[in-house]
């Protein structure tokens, strides 16, 4: 990851006092990084009050998780130099970044908090912006008990695993697993099985996001399961508890007409 710490202001009107420029290591992102260096006086991310992120959705998630890990969250404005760019804005090398930031709309999203218990009794806490997925580690199918609220809803889900997606992540892995696309302001979560074998007719559930979800691995020694929170993996899981981290909201910036809500709606009408 490349971070800019200097440059010239060129007299631009800047809606943020200090801006950081972050870029992935891809050639396209690095070229954009060099093109933007001279536009403003860039600051280190530790001192900035906004982050301009160059790359794809994966790098945006990496940048946001970096903020969560550091305990210092600032708005993030992404420019797509990756593949999908669902969380990003269009890159235009002719555009003045300060002007784009001045017109950008803000959108707050709350991540999922996962409290995981490993087979050895160790506990770990991770956050996920898109989804938390439980996946079998071997050729043996996973067996998972699903509790929502205070009730066991499925005593034994047999298959490759199960995932819980936020609205922001509902068009990613969740959608590939035939899960529903959720409007960003729906206050819902998608609970989606991954290649389920039993129960055969269960295709998942849409849940209010105030409900806690507990996923307990059955027969974990014979059928080990890993938990993945976005890009971070924990192996040999005994159980995980999931809930929205309302005390840890993130803020994304979008160009006019390019909001995350519009992208979620548009994705449901793609026919090719």
| Binding site members for NAD(+) | 57-58, 130-131, 160, 168, 171-176
Q: Which tokens sit at 40?
A: 């403003």
The total of other beta-carbon atoms located within 10 Å of residue 34's CB is 12
How far apart, in whole angstroms, are the C-alpha atoms of residue 241 and residue 246? 15
Do residues 106 and 138 lie in contact, with contact meaning Cβ atoms separated by under 8 Å?
no
The total of other beta-carbon atoms located within 10 Å of residue 113's CB is 19
How far apart, in whole angstroms, are the C-alpha atoms of residue 62 and residue 259? 20
CA triple 24-27-31, angle to 5 deg: 90
Tell me the C-alpha to C-alpha distance, in Å, between residue 70 and each of 63, 73, 210, 246, 264. Answer: 11, 8, 26, 17, 29
Terminal-to-terminal C-alpha distance of the chain: 34
Q: Is the dihedral of CA 15, 21, 22, 28 positive or negative?
A: positive
How far apart, in whole angstroms, are the C-alpha atoms of residue 97 and residue 35? 11
How far apart, in whole angstroms, are the C-alpha atoms of residue 50 and residue 212? 32
Phi then psi for residue 124, to 5 deg, are: -140, 150
Tell me the C-alpha to C-alpha distance, in Å, between residue 254 and each of 37, 48, 104, 109. Answer: 21, 18, 5, 13
Task: List binding-site positions.
Answer: 57-58, 130-131, 160, 168, 171-176
Is 120 catalytic? The answer is no
Residues designated catalytic:
57
């Amino acid at each position: 990851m490349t971070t800019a710490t200097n440059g010239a202001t060129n007299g631009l009107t800047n809606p943020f006092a200090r801006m950081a420029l972050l870029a992935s290591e891809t050639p396209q992102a690095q070229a954009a990084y060099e093109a933007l260096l001279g536009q403003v006086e860039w600051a280190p991310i530790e001192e900035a009050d906004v982050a301009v992120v160059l790359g794809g959705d994966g790098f945006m998630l990496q940048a946001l998780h970096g903020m969560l890990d550091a305990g210092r969250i600032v708005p993030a404005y992404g420019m797509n130099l990756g593949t999908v760019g669902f969380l990003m804005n269009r890159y235009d090398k002719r555009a003045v970044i300060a002007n784009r930031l001045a017109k950008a709309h803000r959108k707050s999203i709350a991540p999922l908090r996962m409290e995981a218990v490993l087979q050895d009794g160790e506990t770990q806490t991770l956050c996920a912006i898109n989804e938390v997925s439980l996946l079998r580690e071997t050729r043996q199918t996973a067996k998972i008990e699903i509790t929502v609220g205070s009730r066991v809803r499925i005593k034994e889900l047999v298959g490759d695993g199960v995932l819980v997606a936020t609205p922001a992540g509902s068009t990613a892995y969740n959608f590939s697993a035939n899960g529903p696309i959720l409007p960003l302001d729906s206050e819902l979560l998608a609970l989606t099985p991954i290649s389920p074998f039993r129960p055969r007719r269960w295709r998942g559930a849409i849940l209010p996001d105030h409900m806690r979800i507990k996923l307990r691995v059955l027969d974990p020694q014979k059928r080990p399961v890993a938990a993945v929170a976005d890009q971070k993996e924990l192996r040999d899981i005994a159980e995980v508890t999931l809930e929205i981290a309302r005390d840890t909201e993130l803020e994304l910036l979008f160009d006019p007409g390019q909001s995350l809500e519009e992208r979620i709606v548009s994705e449901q009408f793609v026919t090719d």
